[in-house]
Amino acid sequence: MRGSAPGRLDLLGGVADYSGALVLEMPTRQRTEVMVRPDRAFVVGPATFSPAGLGRLAGLPYADVRRALAALPRWTHYVIGVALVLVRHGVIDPPCGRLEITSDLPASVGVASSAALEVATARALGAGTVDPLRVASLCQEAENHVVGAPCGIMDQVAVALGTPGTVLPILCRPASVADAVALPEALDIVGWPTGVVHDVGGVAYERARVGAFMGKRMVEGAAGRTWPWASQLPRAAVDELPEALDGQSFLHRWGATDDDVTIVVPHETYPVRAATAFGVEEHGRAVAALEALTVGEPGRLGLLMAASQDGYDAMGLGHPAASAIVKDALARPGVYGARSSGGGCGGTVVVVCERGALDDVDGLIR
């Protein structure tokens, strides 16, 4: 069997997905393909599992699964993780087959190459007839709990349901999609890699995510009520949060957050106000950007992208290489907006421009 999935370009939304915000994603033309060749075992790179062994592994607590896979190359964790989650939830029986992976999608540059690998794997293993939103959720579970990367849901949904050339609005509460919006003929959205490796399991990404959930807990404590998602918090209350707070002080007063894939580290300092505010503000920006895209006002998109870029910098997800590319892009004729995308910290800058405006730039992702 064969499975395929694209990457994604993050027009607006980024790390606000775990705060329950609206995000706007465009799948790439570049794709990852997984082919399952006949075999009597389940073979992924250097790893070989019997069906019985894979079934036993799928039944273990996730902490034990991570320990069992620790000696294998990290890329295999994404593939094996998807297989284990599909077996764990009864979607498939323990599979046999030798997996072959091909891709023209760049890895580790912030364009959802891991989600593309996960969704393509799920489809190749027999989940192609399963509801795509469920496939996305199962793949996120694999990345969160087997790989150990605290990603939100937007990447998996974007690559499972999106169509290249259109922008997919995803409301991450936890995940629902609206009709895709086709790009105007004269408009282009491209990814400009910074050359800096991106990883959603990195310290800065996790620090920002934990900070957002800390802020949510603090606002709820002060208000005496809860909100389902951090993006729904009152902005005035978010403005009252401290700019930064160490984990020990938070744990002493408020206890744990309600995030099940991260922990508050006592000796770490978190950008609480900026990380919490980003989810609130980015949701509003995405709503406005969707309207601007629909009515054909790319100039408004540029202003919203600039504000998003400022938000990334404020919570520690910016990078000098990304800032340099944003500056370079905005100085070119026909460019409306540019911002760090996805998990930030380098990776890729997404650019909205007139079609052909960046044709002289090598290595663009489309």
Question: Is the distance from CB of 278 to CB of 235 less than 8 angstroms?
Answer: no
What is the token pair recorded at 56?
């036993």
List the Cα angle 233/180/21 in 5-degree steps. 10
Domain span at residue 166 reads 2-182
Per-residue pLDDT of 64-76, as tens digits, reads 999 999 999 999 9
CA dist list (Å): 119 to 122, 129, 322, 330, 346: 5, 12, 28, 34, 24
The average confidence (pLDDT) of the chain is: 96
Question: Is the distance from CB of 282 to CB of 12 less than 8 angstroms?
Answer: yes
Per-residue pLDDT of 159-204, as tens digits, reads 999 999 999 999 999 999 999 999 988 999 999 999 988 666 689 9
Give the Cα separation of 170 and 286 in Å (integer). Answer: 10
CA dist list (Å): 243 to 25, 63, 217, 273: 30, 33, 15, 5
Query: Nearest CA to 249 among 232, 269, 271?
Result: 269
343, part of any domain: no
Question: Is the distance from CB of 115 to CB of 161 less than 8 angstroms?
Answer: no
What's the confidence (pLDDT) of residue 200? 63
What's the confidence (pLDDT) of residue 315? 97
Name the band, by pLDDT with cuts 50, 70 and 90, for residue 224. Answer: very high
CA dist list (Å): 232 to 20, 235, 284: 8, 9, 10
Name the band, by pLDDT with cuts 50, 70 and 90, for residue 57. Answer: very high
Q: How is 107-154 classified by DSSP, letter by letter?
A: SSSSS-HHHHHHHHHHIIIIITTS-HHHHHHHHHHIIIIII-----SH
User: By percentage, how much of the chain surpasses pLDDT 90?
Assistant: 97
48, part of any domain: yes
What's the confidence (pLDDT) of residue 146? 98
53, part of any domain: yes
267, part of any domain: no
Give the Cα separation of 354 and 348 in Å (integer). Answer: 19
For strand 42-44 and strand 97-103, is the pairing parallel, antiparallel, or unpaired?
parallel
248, part of any domain: no
Per-residue pLDDT of 265-305, as tens digits, reads 999 999 999 999 999 999 999 999 999 999 999 999 999 99
What's the confidence (pLDDT) of residue 202? 80
Give the count of domains, the chain.
1
pLDDT at 250 over 90: yes
What's the confidence (pLDDT) of residue 197? 81
Query: Nearest CA to 289 among 21, 28, 14, 11?
Result: 11
195, part of any domain: no
The least confident of 16-20, 235-239, 294-298 is 294-298
Name the band, by pLDDT with cuts 50, 70 and 90, for residue 15. Answer: very high
Residue 63 CA neighbour count, 13 Å, CB half: 1
Query: Nearest CA to 293 among 16, 79, 22, 70?
Result: 22
What's the confidence (pLDDT) of residue 159? 98
* CA torsion, ordered 160, 162, 165, 166, to nearest 10 deg: -170
135, part of any domain: yes
Q: State pTM to two decimals.
A: 0.96
Interacting residues of 75 by C-beta distance below 8 A, sequence separation 6+:
45, 117
User: If you average pLDDT over residues 307-322, what whole number do you get?
Assistant: 97
Which residue pairs from 148-151 have beta carbons closer than 8 angstroms and sit at least 24 positions apart in sequence? 148/66, 148/201, 149/114, 149/199, 149/200, 149/201, 150/18, 150/200, 150/201, 150/205, 150/206, 150/209, 150/259, 150/261, 150/262, 151/18, 151/114, 151/115, 151/200, 151/343
Residue that is written with structure tokens 């290595």 in the block: 363
User: By percentage, how much of the chain surpasses pLDDT 70?
Assistant: 99
What's the confidence (pLDDT) of residue 214? 98
Give the Cα separation of 149 and 117 in Å (integer). Answer: 14
Rg over alpha carbons for the chain, rounded to the nearest Å, is: 20
Question: Is the distance from CB of 113 to CB of 106 less than 8 angstroms?
Answer: yes
Give the Cα separation of 196 and 291 in Å (integer). Answer: 32
298, part of any domain: no
Give me the CATH number covering residue 93. 3.30.230.10
Which residue(s) pair with 189 in the sheet?
352
Please tell me what DSSP assigns to residue 365. Answer: B
What is the token pair recorded at 215?
């802020």
